[in-house]
């Protein structure tokens, strides 16, 4: 009986210690949840946002010096919220996703919808139908896999701009 | 003959004494409750499962955890059938078959999930979890995952797990016991998936895969234990207690009671578990090399009255006890 109580007490102490340790570790590292394993959000903020653009008439137009259209404008505005200067790369979907995987891009925009086949190679945002020119399609943007703070920040921005 | 002995046992008996009947009814209710509860859990977790391998593994485990309940309810239909010419021992083994099916399902899918998690971990897949919009607020989906996993653990660990663990020994039902045992250990799965999700949240992406491996190894272990137990019983291992930990004490008691009969020089038994009930073959060496049929009948009735589980009894007079029969010496 005594050992049972002692065991229980030890376990409770251990749990409390673990919780305290976790809390200390978290505050010590200044970690906020979610955070990026590769630190994308931190790197981009106040720096440059490397955006890939896959041309799609009415959403991303590439006739001008930098891409225009509703999606390109959204990406520019997002960069502005992070005090980042947008750095555009124009290419095919496969090229852009490859660059995203290699860590050469932070964000890819184009006519991607919720049904995009790139789901295994890129993190995708929720679908947004409130963007002009989508014809009811739910448009997503692509980010590097697992960069959850960056993804969450982007989704928060999109919710505010074009969310329902 | 049955009219002469009102308590005379039946071969392949299918009815139960009042206490067991009550326990069985209660067990059926708990199994149905569990199926409903687990179905809701599966539906709710499906909403938040996202890209976390740990969550996915926990979700599949929830689905798998339905197999023992379904196996139990299906087996019960057969177990209740009376013995016939074609099935002279009754259909009690249906419970063992159900046990085996549940065990193999856990083993195979658990192994599959473990391999999947290891591959994901080696490939360095960074799980992506974004946000959801809830009541006009954008919140990280990971928090919802954690909340769901905390809430759904209540059922197996605090409600139906302990309830079934109380009923299993009363019914001597190993499938029910295994089911209860897994339910009570379910908190480990939930804690692991929470650790995985928080790991993702903190940027430790590998914690998710590690948690998934932990969960799937738990499934494999459950599968192995159940498969082993079911196979051993189906292969007529001597009857054990409901938790497979010890030889069942009834064998020793039967031998003891037989030896106390004046006409018995020595006795030994073979007892096998048909699933919930036993089948007993009692070997007796008669003291003077002769037996009265009435004595044999009385002995088998005496055994049947020892416990509700031992109604299928044959008493066999022999000149020498078989070496492999249980002589009650531990």
What are the pLDDT digits (tens) for B109-140? 999 999 999 999 999 889 999 999 988 889 99
Residue B256 has pLDDT above 90, yes or no: yes
Q: Taking residues A98-110, what's their average pLDDT?
A: 95
Give the Å distances, CA to CA, from B87 to A30, A101, B78, B100, B281: 70, 63, 11, 20, 18
Q: What's residue B3's pLDDT?
A: 38
For residues A59 and A140, membership in a common domain is answered with yes
DSSP state of B289: S
Cβ pair A50, A107 in contact under 8 A:
yes
Residue B4 has pLDDT above 90, yes or no: no
Q: Which residue of chain A has the CA closest to B208?
A: A146
Contact A151 B128 (CB under 8 A): yes
Q: Is the minimum CB–CB distance between B223 and chain A shorter than 8 Å?
A: no
Alpha helices in chain A (DSSP H): 2-29, 40-44, 70-81, 93-102, 148-162
Q: Taking residues A137-164, what's their average pLDDT?
A: 92
A107-109 β-sheet, strand order: A85-90, A48-53, A107-109, A142-143, A123-124
For residues A130 and A152, membership in a common domain is answered with yes
> How many C-beta atoms surround the C-beta of residue B174 within 10 A?
24
Q: Across chain B, what does the average pLDDT equal? A: 91
Q: Is the minimum CB–CB distance between A126 and chain B shorter than 8 Å?
A: yes
Q: Is residue B208 very low, low, confident or very high in pLDDT (cuts 50, 70, 90)? A: very high
Q: Is the minimum CB–CB distance between B130 and chain A shorter than 8 Å?
A: yes
Q: Taking residues B199-224, what's their average pLDDT?
A: 94
Cβ pair A65, A107 in contact under 8 A:
no
Work out the percent of chain A whose per-residue pLDDT is above 70: 80
- Checking phi first, is residue A64 left (phi over 0); if not, alpha (psi -120 to 50) or beta? beta
> Residue B128 is nearest to which of A31, A35, A148, comparing CB atoms?
A148
Residue B269 has pLDDT above 90, yes or no: yes
Reading the block at residue B33, the tokens are: 């409750």
For residues A9 and A49, membership in a common domain is answered with no
Give the Å distances, CA to CA, from B238 to B145, B180, B229, B248, B271: 46, 23, 12, 8, 6
Residue A33 has pLDDT above 90, yes or no: no
Cβ pair A156, B131 in contact under 8 A:
yes
Q: Give the residue numbers spanning the domain of A6.
A: 1-31
Residue B283: beta bridge partners? Answer: B268, B316
Question: With contacts defined as CB-CB under 8 Å, which chain B residues touch A143?
Answer: 128
In 3D space, the residue among B193, B101, B210 whose CA is nearest the CA of residue B147 turns out to be B193
Q: Is the minimum CB–CB distance between A145 and chain B shorter than 8 Å?
A: yes
In 3D space, the residue among B302, B291, B277, B236 whose CA is nearest the CA of residue B316 turns out to be B291
Work out the percent of chain B whose per-residue pLDDT is above 90: 78
For residues A26 and A95, membership in a common domain is answered with no
Structural domain count, chain A: 2
Q: Across chain A, what does the average pLDDT equal? A: 86
Q: Is the minimum CB–CB distance between B136 and chain A shorter than 8 Å?
A: no
Element (H, E) at B264: strand B264-275
Contact B138 A156 (CB under 8 A): yes
Q: What's residue A10's pLDDT?
A: 62
**Residues near A15 by beta carbon (within 8 Å), at least 6 away in sequence:** none
For residues A107 and A76, membership in a common domain is answered with yes
Q: Taking residues B18-30, what's their average pLDDT?
A: 94
The three-class DSSP label of residue B260 is coil
**Residues near A64 by beta carbon (within 8 Å), at least 6 away in sequence:** none
Cβ pair A139, A126 in contact under 8 A:
no
For residues A23 and A45, membership in a common domain is answered with no
Question: With contacts defined as CB-CB under 8 Å, which chain A residues touch B130?
Answer: 123, 125-126, 148, 151-152, 155
Measure B208 CA to nearest chain A CA, in Å. Answer: 11
Contact A148 B132 (CB under 8 A): no
Residue B7 has pLDDT above 60, yes or no: no
Domains along chain B with CATH numbers: 18-234 (1.20.1510.10), 249-317 (3.30.300.30)
Q: Is the minimum CB–CB distance between B126 and chain A shorter than 8 Å?
A: yes
Q: Is the minimum CB–CB distance between B245 and chain A shorter than 8 Å?
A: no
For residues A108 and A52, membership in a common domain is answered with yes
Q: Which residue of chain A has the CA closest to B140?
A: A152
DSSP state of A126: P
In 3D space, the residue among B201, B188, B161, B179 whose CA is nearest the CA of residue B58 turns out to be B188
Contact B201 A35 (CB under 8 A): yes
For residues A8 and A75, membership in a common domain is answered with no
The three-class DSSP label of residue B255 is helix
Question: With contacts defined as CB-CB under 8 Å, which chain A residues touch B200?
Answer: 34, 146, 148
For residues A66 and A85, membership in a common domain is answered with yes
Residue A26 has pLDDT above 70, yes or no: no
Could you report the per-residue pLDDT of B27-37, keeping only the tens digit for each? 999 999 999 99
Cβ pair A112, A123 in contact under 8 A:
no
Residue of A31, A32, A37 best to disrupt the B interface, most CBs of B under 10 A: A37
Taking the C-alpha atoms of residue B303 and residue B324, their distance in angstroms, rounded to an integer, is 20
Could you report the per-residue pLDDT of A44-102, keeping only the tens digit for each? 999 999 999 999 988 999 988 899 999 999 999 999 999 999 999 999 999 999 999 99
Q: Which residue of chain A has the CA closest to B204?
A: A37
> Residue A151 is nearest to which of B130, B201, B203, comparing CB atoms?
B130
Q: Is the minimum CB–CB distance between A161 and chain B shorter than 8 Å?
A: no
Question: With contacts defined as CB-CB under 8 Å, which chain B residues touch A144?
Answer: 126
Residue of A34, A35, A138, A158 best to disrupt the B interface, most CBs of B under 10 A: A34
For residues A102 and A77, membership in a common domain is answered with yes
Q: Is residue B12 very low, low, confident or very high in pLDDT (cuts 50, 70, 90)? A: low
Q: Is the minimum CB–CB distance between A26 and chain B shorter than 8 Å?
A: yes
Q: Is residue B103 very low, low, confident or very high in pLDDT (cuts 50, 70, 90)? A: very high
For residues A128 and A158, membership in a common domain is answered with yes
Question: With contacts defined as CB-CB under 8 Å, which chain B residues touch A148?
Answer: 128-130, 140, 142, 200-201
Residue labelled with tokens 């955890």: B65
Contact B126 A26 (CB under 8 A): no
For residues A49 and A70, membership in a common domain is answered with yes
**Residues near A74 by beta carbon (within 8 Å), at least 6 away in sequence:** A109, A131, A158, A161, A162
Q: Is residue A30 very low, low, confident or very high in pLDDT (cuts 50, 70, 90)? A: low
Could you report the per-residue pLDDT of B37-66, keeping only the tens digit for each? 999 999 999 999 988 999 999 999 999 999
Could you report the per-residue pLDDT of B146-188, keeping only the tens digit for each? 999 999 999 999 999 999 999 999 999 999 998 998 898 889 9
Give residue A156's Cα distance to chain centre: 10
User: What CATH number is given to the structural domain containing A95?
Assistant: 3.40.190.10
Q: For the stretch A37-63, what's the b/e string if a residue is b when 16 or more beta carbons lie within 10 angstroms of its beta carbon?
A: bbebbebbeeeebbbbbbbbeebbbbe
Give residue B33's Cα distance to chain centre: 17
């Amino acid at each position: 009986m005594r050992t049972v109580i002692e065991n229980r007490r030890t376990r409770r102490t251990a749990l409390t210690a673990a919780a305290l340790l976790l809390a200390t570790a978290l505050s010590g590292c200044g970690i906020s949840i979610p955070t990026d394993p590769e630190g994308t959000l931190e790197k981009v903020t106040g720096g440059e946002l490397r955006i890939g653009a896959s041309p799609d008439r009415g959403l991303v137009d590439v006739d001008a010096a930098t891409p225009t259209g509703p999606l390109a404008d959204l990406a520019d505005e997002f960069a502005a919220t992070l005090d980042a200067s947008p750095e555009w790369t124009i290419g095919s979907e496969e090229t852009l996703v490859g660059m995203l995987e290699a860590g050469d891009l932070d964000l890819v925009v184009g006519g991607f919808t919720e049904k995009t086949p790139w789901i295994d190679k890129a993190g995708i945002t929720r679908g947004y139908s409130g963007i002009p020119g989508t014809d009811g399609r739910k448009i997503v943007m692509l980010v590097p896999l697992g960069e959850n703070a960056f993804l969450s920040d982007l989704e928060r921005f999109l919710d505010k701009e074009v969310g329902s | 003959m049955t009219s002469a002995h009102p308590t005379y046992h039946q071969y392949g008996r299918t009815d139960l004494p009042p206490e067991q009947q009550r326990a069985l009814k209660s067990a059926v209710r708990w199994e149905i409750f569990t199926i409903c509860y687990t179905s809701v859990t599966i539906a709710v977790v499906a909403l938040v499962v996202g890209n976390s391998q740990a969550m996915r593994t926990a979700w599949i485990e929830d689905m798998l955890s339905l197999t023992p309940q379904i196996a139990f309810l299906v087996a019960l239909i057969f177990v209740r059938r009376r013995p016939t010419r074609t099935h002279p021992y009754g259909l009690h083994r249906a419970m063992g078959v159900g046990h085996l099916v549940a065990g193999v399902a856990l083993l195979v899918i658990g192994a599959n999930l473990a391999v999947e998690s290891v591959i994901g971990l080696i490939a360095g897949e960074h799980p992506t979890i974004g946000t959801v919009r809830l009541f006009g607020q954008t919140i990280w989906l990971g928090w919802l995952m954690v909340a769901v996993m905390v809430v759904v653990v209540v059922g197996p660990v605090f409600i139906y797990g302990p309830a079934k663990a109380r009923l299993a020994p009363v019914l001597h039902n190993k499938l029910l016991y295994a089911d209860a045992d897994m339910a009570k250990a379910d908190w480990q799965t939930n804690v692991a998936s929470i650790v995985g999700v928080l790991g993702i949240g903190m940027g430790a992406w590998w914690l998710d895969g590690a948690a998934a491996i932990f969960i799937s190894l738990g499934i494999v272990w459950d599968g192995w234990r159940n498969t082993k137990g079911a196979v051993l019983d189906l292969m007529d291992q001597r009857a054990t207690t409901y938790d497979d930990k010890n030889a069942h004490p009834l064998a020793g008691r039967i031998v003891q009671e037989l030896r106390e009969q004046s006409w018995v020089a020595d006795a030994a038994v073979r007892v096998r578990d048909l699933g919930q009930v036993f089948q007993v073959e009692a070997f007796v060496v008669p003291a003077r090399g002769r037996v009265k049929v009435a004595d044999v009948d009385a002995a088998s009735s005496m055994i049947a009255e020892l416990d509700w589980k031992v109604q299928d009894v044959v008493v066999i007079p022999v000149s020498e006890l078989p070496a492999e029969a249980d002589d009650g010496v531990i």
